[in-house]
Amino acid sequence: MPLTDVEVRSARPRDKAYRLADGAGMYLEVSQTGGKYWRLKYRFGGKEKRLALGVYPEVSAKEARERRAQARKLLANGIDPGIERKVQKAATLERAANSFEAVAREWFARQAPGWAASHADKIMGRLENDVFPWLGGRAIAEIKAPEVLAVLRRVEARGALDTAHRVHQNCGQVFRYAVATGRAERDISSDLRGALPPARHTHFASVTDPSEVAGLLRALDGFQGTFVVQCALRLAPLLFVRPGELRTAEWAQLDLDKAQWRYTVSKTKTEHLVPLATQVVAILRELHALTGQRRYVFPGRDPKKTMSEAAINAALRRMGFDTKTEITGHGFRAMARTILHEQLRFPSEVIEHQLAHKVPDALGTAYNRTKFIADRTAMMQAWADYLDSLKAGERAASPATARVA
């Protein structure tokens, strides 16, 4: 007779493990410690075998009997249920190893060492927030284009069209890695080209009118926050490097006697040299008295770390500037690029090299940190002098005074 719920529930441990038969080869094994295990005894190929059906109470008697029925159906078809379970378990493990998330994290681990930390964080953030919850557990070879499109539509629906395009790009990179490593037949994300409307790329907010620049510079000098942030604000327009590069500047990279700053560009991983105008050196020498014994030029509240990534923009907002429509930390680059070319008449190639952009020349050289160094040194000093003249309320310097020899 099948066991009743009362019999199963009231079975108590004894000095030795014992069994309570349920019929058709199934029984409840009660251990010395009180554990209750459903088992199925069967014969296959002339040998007696046992199959675990679950643990009570997680698996009820009814569920255990259903599993017994499934096992007996396999036996009737000449299949050993024990072997079948091992095969299914192996397949499950293989699917987990070849899931979209597993492949994506493997791809990321190989690529991330060559990326800036901020870039790597953004990519993994997109994958974890916008892709893994829906596709992470799926075997990558089984994912279809409409499933990826559904992921992209969710991102698009919240108004983040540019992010949707970036998610599409990252998915394609993962699929291509899966193809290269034998986990997928093709990159199905390529079928979605044109499925999203074009993204409207917006430039960082910037000020390029000399009269407006004058007011901005005077506001920066009057910032009432910490001395470290004040120095960073005063240096940002003078150096016009990427905000992350300014924020993570190290004293070991600076040679104030030679008036040079050498560092590795975060975006291109190339070495870069920034000539320092006399005004820049003066600010840095003043700051050195406060932070010169530390690693970073602009330390944060924790002296072992840099100041916050949001510090510059937060300071601009405190001074009343709209960082979406007026100026951002990155906007100083556009300001310098525009005015140096249009007002001071410096050649574009000199400006682009100082911006650490890849500018192929006639010989195919993408970037050389010392190229145009004499011109760039003169340009950086002329730029600092020009900004001083704007702050003082003078007219823009004559283009003739800023001519490159």
Query: Quick check: is 242 catalytic?
Result: yes
- Are residue 144 and residue 72 in the same domain, yes or no? no
Residue 197 lies in a domain: no
The pLDDT confidence band at residue 204, using thresholds 50, 70 and 90, is low
Give the single-character DSSP code of 250.
B
Cα distance between residue 299 and residue 115, in whole Å: 23
Residue 154 lies in a domain: yes
Total domains in the chain come to 3
Is the omega angle on the peptide bond into residue 57 within 30 degrees of 0, that is, cis? yes
Q: Which of 95, 119, 267, 295 is catalytic?
A: 267
- Are residue 286 and residue 369 in the same domain, yes or no? yes
The alpha carbon dihedral of 202, 205, 206, 209 has a sign of positive
Average pLDDT over residues 187-214: 81
Query: Quick check: is 267 catalytic?
Result: yes
* Phi and psi based region of residue 182 (left: phi greater than 0; alpha: psi -120 to 50; beta: remaining): left
Look at residue 272 and give its three-state secondary structure: strand
Domain with residue 58: its CATH number is 3.30.160.390
pLDDT in tens, 227-280: 999 999 999 999 999 988 999 999 999 999 999 999 988 777 788 999 999 999
- Are residue 251 and residue 397 in the same domain, yes or no? yes
The residue among 38, 60, 88 that closes a domain is: 88
pLDDT in tens, 123-177: 999 999 999 999 998 899 999 999 999 999 999 988 888 899 999 999 999 999 9
- Are residue 289 and residue 397 in the same domain, yes or no? yes
Query: Quick check: is 367 catalytic?
Result: yes
Query: Quick check: is 357 catalytic?
Result: yes
- Are residue 317 and residue 393 in the same domain, yes or no? yes
Cα distance between residue 2 and residue 22, in whole Å: 4
Rg, Å, the chain Cα set: 33
Query: Quick check: is 333 catalytic?
Result: yes
The residue among 33, 68, 88 that closes a domain is: 88
Where does residue 86 rank: exposed (0-12), middle (13-18), buried (19+ CB within 10 A)? exposed
pLDDT in tens, 381-403: 999 999 999 988 864 444 334 44
Cα distance between residue 99 and residue 206, in whole Å: 44
Residue 205 lies in a domain: no
H/E run at residue 330:
none
**Spatial contact of 405 and 380, defined as CB atoms under 8 Å apart:** no
Cα distance between residue 87 and residue 83, in whole Å: 6
Residue 228 lies in a domain: yes
- Are residue 218 and residue 354 in the same domain, yes or no? yes
Q: Which of 242, 247, 272, 337 is catalytic?
A: 242
Q: Which residues contact 173 (CB under 8 A, 6 or more apart)?
A: 107, 111
Cα distance between residue 147 and residue 366, in whole Å: 40
Q: Which of 72, 105, 295, 357 is catalytic?
A: 357
Give the single-character DSSP code of 3.
P
Query: Quick check: is 119 catalytic?
Result: no
Domain range for residue 34?
Answer: 5-88
pTM: 0.53
Domain with residue 217: its CATH number is 1.10.443.10
